[in-house]
Amino acid sequence: MERILEDFIITLRNNGVRISISESIDAANVLKFIGYSQKSILRDSLASVLTKSLDEKIIFYSCFEDFFEVQGMAHNSPDSKEKGSEDKETEIKEPKEKEAKNNNIPIDQKDSALTKLLLSDDMTSREIAIREAARSIDIRSIQYFTQKGRYMARIMNYLGDAALFKDIQRLLKENTAKSTEKAKALQVQEKQLFGAVKAFVEKHFTFFASSSTDKIIEKSLRETSLSKIGIQDLNIMRKIVNKITKRLNSLYSRKRKTARRGQLDFKKTLRENIAYQGVLFNISWKYKKIDRPDIIAVCDISRSVQSYVQFLLLFLYSLSESFARIKTFIFCSNLVEVSNIFDNYPLEEALKIIESGKGLDIIMGSTDYGQAFQDLKKGWLDIITNKTFVLILGDGRNNFADNQSEILTMIYKRCKRLIWLNPESRFLWNSGDSEMKSYLPSCHMAMECNTINHLERVADHILSYR
């Protein structure tokens, strides 16, 4: 594969386009026929073999324009310029004497190759030299923004910045009108060259290192308490949640599909095909029925816990295709069902309605877990079955009211799993007005849950539990 195509594929992968090895080979074969000379044909041809969805096409066209602009696609045909650059380093070619003029400044034999290039005003050769230097130092290895300065210095060093500096010092020492004028011209050209190198490295950082930066940000946000997530990070957090839920949906939907078909029942297959002298006409399968779980989410939306609720519900409803049913309840001084809001509004809008509490028959007074459990028992106990996962999100702080732990025990006995998610650190669970000590015996699982990683583990546990 040509180096320029390989770099482009790395760029696409870093921006979220999935490209297999076979698709990369197809792209290389396409280039054998069309080359790089016609930009529109190149763009459409590569898009046809490297993208599989509308979203990927949007990413592709954006990356294509940026990438090939930096690669010098504006020049007529990069084919000849790039050919063979992967296998050998190309030295900076000295310009012809008639081209080597910068404001009529003469070039002599003492000048270095970079000095001659800068004085020639040949911008095309300068761009090619920068690209060749970048390939020689393996610009694709850049990973972090702190490495930008190092790669700029390495490119300048490869181009011959040290020799250029010596030329400038020599000319200044000669101290003649012509030598001084030439030295000043070189200083100006050096600044322009450094600016071009800086822009080149910045652009390639976005090509080759954007995924590394995104991974660092994602890792940090995954481990950050949800109560400390700033407004500026909410969009990133939602993308992380969507990425996780997409993986979980894909993983467990495949398992269900395989389970519906079953495993080969070898003994039964042989028995049923005896009449055919061992030829296997009728195949028998061992079927294992796997039911999608029902979810009942009971969420404390008091001020101390509210910031965690939206992420739990975002997680659950993003996984809705993996669940048979989701019933959602919120409570503070009383408990109300809000499942219909998710049925009637888009997910993001539904979360905003619940967060504001407008139009909901909920009393935002002192948190009362006991009253919430009484309301749940009175109105909805019959929907809790041995297929139901009950999720309770709350800190268990009941303001010293009656905790009604016996109702939780009743729910525990009826459901498949009762999981309590507490955003507080475990060592605080029994301090002050916390009732966690009374509630823990009625929980199949209780865990500290205040980060995206915690929510992912909960979702994975529910979907994998059989």
Task: With cut-offs at 50, 70 and 90, classify the pLDDT of residue 90.
Answer: very low
Interval 161-175: pLDDT, tens: 999 999 899 989 988
- Higher per-residue pLDDT: 367 or 240: 367
| pLDDT range class, residue 117, cuts 50, 70, 90 | confident
- Report whether pLDDT(74) > 60: no
pLDDT at residue number 435 = 93
Residue 217 has pLDDT above 80, yes or no: no
Q: Dihedral sign, CA of 168, 171, 173, 176?
A: negative
Lowest pLDDT segment from 35-49, 281-295, 450-464: 281-295
Q: Is the confidence at residue 395, as pLDDT, over 50?
A: yes
Residue 104 has pLDDT above 70, yes or no: no
Highest mean pLDDT among 165-179, 284-298, 378-392: 378-392
State the pLDDT at residue 98.
39
Take residue 157 and report the two structure tokens written for it: 């060093």
Answer whether residue 36 shows pLDDT above 80.
Answer: no
* Between 281 and 353, the higher pLDDT residue: 353
The SS3 call for residue 333 is coil
| pLDDT computed for residue 267 by the predictor | 78
Core vs surface per residue 199-217: b (16+ CB within 10 A) or e:
ebbebbbbbbbebeebeee
Supply the DSSP symbol for 325: E
Angle at 216 between CA 212 and CA 222, to 5 degrees: 135
Of 57 and 283, the one with more pLDDT: 57
Kindly write down the DSSP assignment for every residue of 65-107, as one continuous string: HHHHHHTTTTSS-HHHHHTTTTTSPPPPPPPPTTT--BTTB--
Highest mean pLDDT among 84-93, 253-262, 411-420: 411-420
- Region of residue 447 (phi > 0: left; psi between -120 and 50: alpha; otherwise: beta): beta
**Tokens read off for 220:** 């940090």
For residue 73, give both structure tokens.
């696609």
Cα–Cα distance measured from residue 28 to residue 75, given in angstroms and rounded to the nearest whole number: 21
Rounded CA gap, 156 and 152, in Å? 6
pLDDT at position 99, please? Answer: 41
The proportion of the chain whose per-residue pLDDT surpasses 70, expressed as a percent, equals 84
Average pLDDT value over all residues in the chain: 81
Residues 93-115: b if buried by 16+ CB within 10 A, e if exposed: ebbeeeebebeeeebeeebbbbb
Element (H, E) at 391: strand 388-393
